[in-house]
Structure 1
């Protein structure tokens, strides 16, 4: 992609975010603090868009990931909202199954994700008309049919994936050309970053999400944020853009 094509891609993404802010308020951006999410954070805050930004502080994140929160505050003067799991739910899971029971089965892993991520997400989305994610089609097989705009029936609102068309190269070209802060784990072989015990660096040639829940089969590798009733749901497209 040449610079002209890249500029068009960036402008198209900015227009999507502007449309979310203008036509779907109140709206929020669910940031994992990864590279893709820093691109959207930069666009939202540079353009002063009325889109709130939050992250799910699961209690098991890398120190480097939490450090991104300070870098956002230092760079943009913005404090990302934090949503944490219910302490009693975490305590009950650990008491019944053990701290790292997610290694034992897909069911126990998904239950941990439900407690630490899905339930807090549901709270974060209450009262919103739309939410934004940093998902890209090229990230994994489970996201191959991703659309820029989808109707999220589970939450009763519109869902936007403004970077659906972006490649990993596009993401890093934006970050480096704009001087956007990012998680230093990306420089250590972590293209996709989740909770510390569930994320490893990848090897050359591996899928970008190979380091997430690496002990599972590829088709199960979603945390539940984009899953309904335990199954991956491809939300019906509401637009062809």
Structure 2
């Protein structure tokens, strides 16, 4: 089994350039679950890519574990979508995890509206630390990253070393284009976040997500008033080819 502790750059290269090179998303998912079984988890934010992956995973591993990180600051539409997903995929093990601090406790310890004053620290407390704690229980995890989403993601491979979580990060959707994501959603009549219909292409916490004007970068609505473009989960330094 390929693990963070034992994998070499040569093994990763062999996997990505030989074993999985000509494979499609379903093949990659089958390989991942055959390789890791219950030691593999999908951390899902239930964006457009997320609902596609949940549907595909349900076909490959009907009882797979899906994690959703509830920062307690999501849009109502996001919570509504998760309930729809639970009903559509009753066999999937959809788990909701939360930060150690409530929003009120965070305000008491770090000051009010930390997401405005120090968004990196807010993401650290409400996203990265709880995910790190949970993902550390598994050998590998699945992410819905696509190469065309941003410059920081264009070198993502099917199988990556995740240095932040000391695990293997598997990204089955790296070659998908946005139109393919939406074609799959429409053809399969999948539930999706209704905010996508109102110029919210990338959806996170409601304080840090805004609408995007037509023709703008799809991720320009995330942390729009700062230089921040990633929560820190997928920064290039965290994951290597």
Quick one: which of 97, 106, 115 aligns to 1:83?
97
Match of 1:12 in 2: 24
1: CA distance, partners of 2:47 / 2:218: 12
Q: Where does structure 1 lack aligned partners over 5 or more consecutive residues?
A: 1-10
Superposed CA deviations along residues 186-208 of structure 1, whole A, max 9, x for unmatched, are 11111100000100110011001
Cα deviations by residue, 1:82-138 (Å, 9 ceiling, x for unpaired): 1100126x545412543323223xxx1111001110011012212211100111111
SS in 2 for 1:24: helix
The separation in 2 between residues aligned to 1:28 and 1:180, in whole angstroms, is: 21
Query: Which of residues 167, 189, 195 in structure 2 aligns to 1:179?
Result: 189
Q: Which residue of 2 aligns with 1:235?
A: 239
Structure 2 length-normalised TM: 0.84
CA offsets per residue over residues 139-194 of structure 1, 9 Å max, x none?
11221222121011332221011111111001001111111111111111111000
Q: What's the offset of the Cα at 1:223?
A: 0.4
TM alignment of 1:43-58, pairs within 5 A = 43-49=56-62, 51-58=64-71
Please give the alpha-carbon distance, in whole angstroms, between the structure 1 residues aligned to 2:205 and 2:150: 18
- The equivalent of 2:122 in structure 1 is 112
**TM-score when normalising by structure 1:** 0.84
Once residues 24 and 139 of structure 1 are traced to their aligned partners in structure 2, the CA distance between those partners, rounded to angstroms, is 27
Q: In the aligned structure 2, how far is the partner of 1:86 from the partner of 1:97?
A: 14
